[in-house]
Amino acid sequence: MSVSRTFVLVPGAWHGAWCYRRVAEILRADGHRVYPLSLTGLADRSHLAGDAVDLTTHVLDVVNLVKWEDLHDVVLVGHSYAGLVIVGAAETISDRIASIVFLDAFIPADGQAMVDISPRDLPTSGLLPPYSAKGMGVNEADRAWVDSKVTPQPVRTYLEKLPAAGAYKRIPKKTYVRTTFASPLWQGLYEEFRQAPDWKTHVVDCGHDLMIDKPQEVARILEESA
């Protein structure tokens, strides 16, 4: 068995802790402590959805989990939109993060919002309906399950800008994982980090929800990144 590590798993837009279920089971079977969480307003916390929920809310979800659970030497993992969330969290708790892992994730610069990175016309309030599982490239066998679990995303999580986004660069271990799901945004980040000596990079051959499509491979990558 590998040395026991502590993993905090943050889901992307429309998803919740449920999407990491398979990965969490594998990591726990290997003796690790694993904390998958649902961000405010989503999944099992969807009853809290509303215009009061923004990017700061989601950053605090992660920060407060780490603080109240007294977690240290954390492997902090973020999928897709949650790249912004874990970058924001690192501004406050970088001293508790041993490794940061981006799974097909967006990474902001100072002062960027999600809508700046991936431009689209958005309302100023309300909820964003989820993409379909098929649209996210989920394997056919899991599409009905994923479609039954995704929930609308509070739009202000996409509109709020992250004031500072540099602390994550000082975390000792940094990993970027790209899927073969088509997106020039993720490919550009992967190519940038592939050439950086202080980053590890991986490619997983599946759709955007790699923790669902390839849980064994993702779990092994996370363990290697710890």
Annotate 173-209 with b (16+ C-beta within 10 A) or e (fewer).
Answer: bbbbbbbebeeeebeebbeebeeeeebbbbebebbbb
The residues near 109 (Cβ < 8 Å, ≥ 6 apart) are 165
Q: 133 or 189, which is more confident?
A: 133
Over 90: is that where the pLDDT of 107 sits?
yes
Tokens of 18: 């449920």
Q: State the Cα–Cα distance between residues 46 and 154, nearest whole angstrom.
A: 10
- Which of 38, 80, 99, 225 is flagged as catalytic? 80
Is residue 183 part of the annotated active site? The answer reads no
Overall fold of domain 6-225: Rossmann fold (3.40.50)
Decide: 77 and 101 in contact? Cβ < 8 Å.
yes
For residue 167, pLDDT over 70 is answered with yes
Structure tokens given for 105: 């994730």
Q: By C-alpha distance, which of 208, 204, 176, 203 is closest to 192?
A: 176
Token pair for 3: 């040395």
Mean pLDDT of the 191-203 span: 96
Domain boundaries, the chain: 6-225
How confident is the model at residue 184, as a pLDDT? 79
H/E element, 190? helix 184-194
Neighbours of 54 (CB within 10 A): 18
Mean pLDDT, rounded, of the chain: 96
pLDDT value at residue 21:
98
Q: What is the mean pLDDT of residues 170-184?
A: 92
- Model pLDDT for residues 27-63, shown as the tens digit of each residue: 999 999 999 999 999 999 999 999 999 999 999 999 9
pLDDT for the residue 185? 77
